[in-house]
Amino acid sequence: MVEVTIGDFEVRYDGENLTIVQAGETEPVMCLGLDEVEELAVFLDSLRSLSSNRREAFRVSLQGSESLNVFVVKNDTQFEVVPKTISVTGIFVTPAPGQAMGLQENDYVEVLLDFEGESQSYKALVRRCQDDGVGLFFTESMKGEQIDPPPRLSRTVMELQRRLMARRP
- Which one has a higher pLDDT value, 49 or 80? 80
Model confidence pLDDT, tens digit, residues 58-107 = 788 887 678 899 999 999 899 999 999 999 999 999 988 887 788 999 99
pLDDT attached to residue 49: 45
Domain at 60-167, CATH from 2.40.10.430, 1.10.287.620, 3.30.43.10, 3.90.550.10: 2.40.10.430
pLDDT band at 50 (very low <50, low <70, confident <90, very high): very low
pLDDT band at 51 (very low <50, low <70, confident <90, very high): very low
Model confidence pLDDT, tens digit, residues 13-30 = 888 888 999 888 889 889
Answer whether 0.85 is exceeded by the pTM: no
Q: With 70 as the cut, is the pLDDT of residue 35 above it?
A: yes
Q: Calculate the average pLDDT of the chain.
A: 85
In this structure, are strands 77-87 and 68-74 parallel, antiparallel, or unpaired? antiparallel
Q: Where are the domains of the chain?
A: 2-51, 60-167
